[in-house]
Structure 1
Amino acid sequence: MKNSVLIIFIFFISFGLKAQYKNISFEKSNARNLKIHQIDFREFSTLIHFQYTNENSGLICAEEDFYIQDKETLKKYKLLNSLNLPICDKAHQFDKLGQIHNYTLEFERVPDEIKKFDIIENSENGFKFYGVKIDNSKEQANVIDVTSFINDTPVKEYGIYYKDGDPVFYYNHKGITVAVMLTYNQNYGKYYQANIMVKNLSGREFNFDPNQITAIMQKNDKVYEPEVLSYEEYMKKVKRQQNWNAFAVAFSESMSANQAAYSSSSSSTTSSGYSNTTGSASGYVGDTYGSIYGSSSTYGSSYSTTYSQNYDGQAAYLAQQNANKNISNYQANQYSIKQTISEGYLRLNTIHNETEYIGYVNIEYEKKIEEIVLSVPVNGTTYTFTW
């Protein structure tokens, strides 16, 4: 796989930039907190670099039906890649108000001579720019290295899947996956049991201390902090450890199955005469995670769609990056999980690179609560899960 990617890189490095512009105006827009940073006309595609400022500490994603439309000809140019912004079955989660997030959308090649166009995210609440015009009489902008542009604001992907009817919430962020499933446990007392999985593909080890996990509950308009039992506290209540291995294996495999759900490929011919292909791949390159999955999406740095109209969106994206830097990245080791630690009740552990740690903590039980929020600190970042 690594060698084939290198061949793609070497093959495409001759395809460079055509023109890039920062002097951009538009007639109207519903996106007051979204800025068009720059537009690049490339050999095989058009890239629009956006900068989004968070106003409500929420989530952001890209709808798959996103396009550029020529105001004169009404021709549409489809979205090929969403770089650093998940397609809307998942989302990027902001941590605070005023936080900035850079992302790049790659579209089918727009003609150089286009005079005015719309940028449309075709959904009820989607972003829309009408009457976009490029002032090409001004000096062209500097080349944007897409990798550097998006790495300044790494994506914090948030998603959900189900295991045996229970929701599993998870984050993918800076090479670390944190997944949590909340269940009810009556062994040795009544507890909410938080089953937690931490996957480390960040390229370096870190300590994970479950004693830093906290919870907040809401009941009858009152908010309070229940006790999250430490290993020592819980073991005082039991005389033996529970059989954990079977559940740990099932939990780990469910996460793998969720990712694998995006691995199948299919094609269908549309009336316009081209095939629309979907597929997936994922892995780590050095310290950088990337995957292509689902119906036209990639995570990490790239959520992509590939059209077989003599155009490979992902290959074009690869070609458009700084060749020397990217080839060097791809020569680095590609990471995969090589060890799983599952010891039952969570304790302080050093999680080495390429290691998966699975366990659980028990939370004080309370009847008829309306909401429970679990905060899980991992490697300097706190991941919040709400039921």
Structure 2
Amino acid sequence: MSSPLSPAAIDAMRARTPGVRSTTHFNHAGASLPSAATLEAIQAHLLREASMGPMEAGAAAREQTERARTLAARLLNAQPVEIALTTGNSAGWGAAFAALGPWLAGQRILVARHEWGGNLATMRLLAQRAGASIETIPSDASGRVDPRALEAMLDDRVRLIALTWLPANGGLINPAAAIGQIARRHGIAYFIDAAQAVGQLPIDVVEVGCDVLAGAGRKALRGPRGTGLLYVRRDFLPRLMPAFVDTHSAPLDAEGDPILRDDAARFESSEASLALHCGLANALEEALDIGIDNIRAQIDRTAQTLREQLAALPGVSVLDQGVERSGLVSFNVAGLDAMSVRHTLAAQGIAIGSNGVAYTPFDMTSRGLTQIARASVSYLTTGAEVDKLLAGIRTLAR
């Protein structure tokens, strides 16, 4: 049974996290603070490269890549052959999207209004060339994507349903499994951007019903920047032809013909950083040891406390929507732009994030928002850190 973490457990993990000694970090949704063991795993491999030679050290450390793949599969309730290790969320999502192949005029892509701006840019470039369309699925009264409204939009021209599970501009959590049931029933490809969800929410890709799910290592997982996970459902893989391959993803046979890999590693490159894979493997193991259910419970408790206390501050508007909410807490301070709030807090040693329209354009525009300040918590976040953040914002709000 899941439960929030004890103060003693949090203190022990913070003692093994160097960054907490130099920053009050509320930008875990941008990139979290790695543990000392994750840093040591990266550094140890870099030292092996320096002493043995990078290629020789790489051969010796391949087992860490497979360890990361196996742990990622366990995290998502997938098979290891369904996991590719990528350089980040956008790289994985974009590679899978490009692999869908040619599009035809009139074909439709349906997205929730919370779709990540980087994904929209990728889809729009293609849609403009092919004459396809991108359409927004209505949201319900809580702000979440509405599964019933989605079903009413479907016809035989819909080729892809794309969902950003946890939007970048606030704490809303979309009903990913309900969307998956509709996608499966109609045989439509379903892609999930889980950049903020991986490591923060329990994820079962079978239950969710997605064909592709992309995640980042640097956020809730506390892995190194430059790492990501890409899940591709095994039965869906034959429908994806990578836009480019190399000697790892499609080695040549004796006749010189490329043999495309029959697992998700067809989306990997021989130029991957094995040092970062070592760090990712350690971060995955740490998260699984803590328990994602426990992580979720701890983050939810801290984020709810922060929301309630922020909402009580004069001049502060909490902007989160949804029914179930994540560890991203969005707000604005009256009379101040979000970037100024961010910079002023940074001068006090407090790190938060800030987003503009380009990050989530459909949602921000529909809600009349031009910017948001974002304080995102981790299971490492303490009550004392929340108090420090609130004191800083209270001063600004005056």
Shorter-chain TM-score: what band? under 0.3
The structure in which a higher percent of residues are strand is: 1
The structure in which a higher percent of residues are helix is: 2
TM-score (normalizing by structure 2): 0.26
RCO higher in 1 or 2 (8 Å CA, sep ≥ 6)? Answer: 2
Q: Quick check: which has more Rg, 1 or 2?
A: 1
